[in-house]
Structure 1
Amino acid sequence: MGILTHGGAGMFIDLPNELDEALIDLGSILPAWSTEGAFLADSTIERYRAELDSAPLFGEFRHSLLSLLNGTGAGYAVVRLRNIAQAMGAGDPFLCLATAILAEVAIPFQPFQRWPLWKEIGTNLNANPGLSTGTGYNAFHMDLVNVTQPPDYTTLLCVRPDPLGAGASILSDARAAVTRLTPSSRALLADVAYSYGSFFELSDVGGEYKPFPVLDGEPADLGFVRFTAKMLAESGLDEAHAHAAKELADQMVAGQISFTLQRGDFLIVNQHYWVHGREPLGAGQHDVAPEDRRLLLQLFLRGAGTTGPAAS
């Protein structure tokens, strides 16, 4: 059937035409989602699942997706919904369909109280270039690094790629990078010595974790490599701990892969294993109309039975 394809450096899932067509039909009838607190409501998940199960070949697609995302698979996937986005547009019906698919992986939830379930990541020419909404290099990081219970998965849906052809997504296997470090660096990264970011208006992510260890000693499916390159400049680290974190950053860059998301692609990253970032956008963004600039939508997922360190 050929659902799973290995394209370039990435792991991509291309849907068969029969499934594409069935999902386009489903997208027109899926109801708007409901939430219970920060989480997608059980009633919505059950309704979405019943509809998806009726689609031909969806079971095989779900198996391929989950196999990629677990600890023995790639740890990330790019699902190509390009034909569906072309047919449906990127409005609410398409987002309901994307939400339904992601609910097969884990529970969609809304950790940021001030943003909706799908959080816009647009292109702001006035933002710090290194931020997710900026135009420069967005260095490797995991999302919500400074909370005791980070999202298990982060997802990025491409509504519009950079019309100038740049802004590739970058990923790195954080745990593989750790294995290439010296024992002394790994020991330093296990110290509760690192910090980054603020903590406010957040839901269902535990408490603030500050300072935190980069390496928490937990099994890979429970723990995280708590890393963001931005902490190198903002943590007030001593020389030894800063050097260890820089060594890890260098190994992540050395092992990185990259690919450019196109309209309708969504990237799903298992944060227990991988970190992500972005190459700079194309020069000349001032010449691109605001409504044509790169636009992604982000959604977070919480797996069942997630635990975390006790909040301090």
Structure 2
Amino acid sequence: MIQPGSKSPAFITLSKPLEAALIEIGGALPAWDISGSLLADATLKRYQAQMESVPLVKETTATLRHALTGEGGGYAVLRLGNLAEALGTGDDRFLRLALAFAAEVAVPFSPFPRWPLWKDIGVKVDKDPGKSSGIGYNAFHMDLVNATRPPDYSTLLCVRPDPLGGGLSILSDAHAAVARLPEDCRALLAESAYHYGTFFDLFGVGEEYKPFPILDGSDPDGGFVRFTAKMLVRSELGQAHAEAARELSEELVRGQVSFMLRPGDYLIVNQRRFLHGREALRSGQESVPVGDRRLLLQLFLRSGARDGSAA
């Protein structure tokens, strides 16, 4: 279901021998502990040691890192479906394996004190349709757009896709979209004239950033493109700045890729390169039992967290 003319997503399939080895070590991975907002050092080191004990892991993690940070990259989908089937998506052994892969990229952390490390994103038919747990179109955005230190990576582990067949994941190369805009539009996007949402009960993500520029200018190729399409309808913006953001939104849609996550698929998005969203779920969600509806688990990652900057 990849859009014609777009780049193919980096689907990474594990070899059968690697899957067998990971299933074997799944029970040896300890329960995770959190220190502040970050995965505890002791847990991180244990996970890394267990992964290093499986020689076949090295090539896969190298491929994963290249897909996320190499030229032209910015996201990847780890196909962990066979592990999920063998262990069960609700089994902590499977979640620990997914977490161990995440820890090969950066340090897992939770910005939400009231939520566990993995945050459920289910389906609520009575919620705002445009929200992550709603049933409508979830437009392109970066997570925690109004934080001075947003997560470097946003990840989604698919437990259940929409049983009715909707909810395609959508991604778009933010810097490529910006590059297609005229210079006067980019100049407006670089001005601190944008704001969106609230900011409370968060840690590990800095302070509230309000107003903020969509283009932060720190790195033309690797800086955040602080964008959420929801600001176009839920924030009061000046006409010129709103129009510039609208042009960016159109370019993001023009360059998007889309695909369906399957059970066990683990999507990792480099927020310094790509923005993400979701197509609407299929109509009829009210008739689907709550326990059968689409369910994703969200986890965030912080690069360079152990220098103390993310505490």
**Normalised TM-score (structure 1):** 0.94
- Rounded Cα–Cα distance in structure 1 between residues aligned with 2:70 and 2:187: 24
How big is each residue's C-alpha offset from its partner over 1:119-140, in whole Å with a ceiling of 9 and x where there is no partner? 0000000110000000000000
Please tell me whether residue 135 in structure 1 is matched to residue 135 in structure 2.
yes
Aligned residue identity for 1:135: I
Q: Which residue of structure 2 lines up, in the alignment, with residue 310 of structure 1?
A: none
Provide the secondary structure at the position in 1 that maps to 2:186: helix
| Aligned residue pair count | 301
- Rounded Cα–Cα distance in structure 1 between residues aligned with 2:203 and 2:167: 30
Q: Which runs of 5+ in 1 are unaligned?
A: 1-6, 308-312
Over 3 Å off, 4+ runs: none
| Offset, 1:222 | 5.5
- Rounded Cα–Cα distance in structure 2 between residues aligned with 1:72 and 1:218: 18
Provide the secondary structure at the position in 2 that maps to 1:171: strand
Aligned residue identity for 2:66: S
- Rounded Cα–Cα distance in structure 1 between residues aligned with 2:10 and 2:70: 14
Question: Once the two structures are aligned, what percentage of the paired residues are identical?
Answer: 59
Name the Cα RMSD after superposition.
Answer: 1.6
- Rounded Cα–Cα distance in structure 1 between residues aligned with 2:32 and 2:155: 18
Kindly report which structure 2 residues correspond to 1:14-163, keeping only aligned pairs within 5 A, or say none: 14-90=13-89, 91-163=91-163
Shift in alpha-carbon separation, 1:227–1:306, aligned structure 2, 3 A? farther
Please tell me whether residue 259 in structure 1 is matched to residue 259 in structure 2.
yes
Please tell me whether residue 216 in structure 1 is matched to residue 242 in structure 2.
no
| Offset, 1:305 | 6.2
| Offset, 1:72 | 1.7
Provide the secondary structure at the position in 1 that maps to 2:148: coil
Provide the secondary structure at the position in 1 that maps to 2:10: strand
How big is each residue's C-alpha offset from its partner over 1:37-86, in whole Å with a ceiling of 9 and x where there is no partner? 11001111111111111113101011101111115241100000000000
Provide the secondary structure at the position in 2 that maps to 1:268: strand
- Rounded Cα–Cα distance in structure 1 between residues aligned with 2:75 and 2:220: 15
Q: Is the 8 A contact 2:156 2:299 kept in 1?
A: yes
Q: Is the 8 A contact 1:67 1:73 kept in 2?
A: no
Q: Which residue of structure 2 lines up, in the alignment, with residue 234 of structure 1?
A: 234
Shift in alpha-carbon separation, 1:179–1:111, aligned structure 2, 3 A? same
Aligned residue identity for 1:63: A
- Rounded Cα–Cα distance in structure 1 between residues aligned with 2:197 and 2:70: 28
Q: Is the 8 A contact 1:9 1:259 kept in 2?
A: no
Q: Which runs of 5+ in 2 are unaligned?
A: 1-5
Q: Which residue of structure 1 lines up, in the alignment, with residue 206 of structure 2?
A: 206
Provide the secondary structure at the position in 2 that maps to 1:224: coil
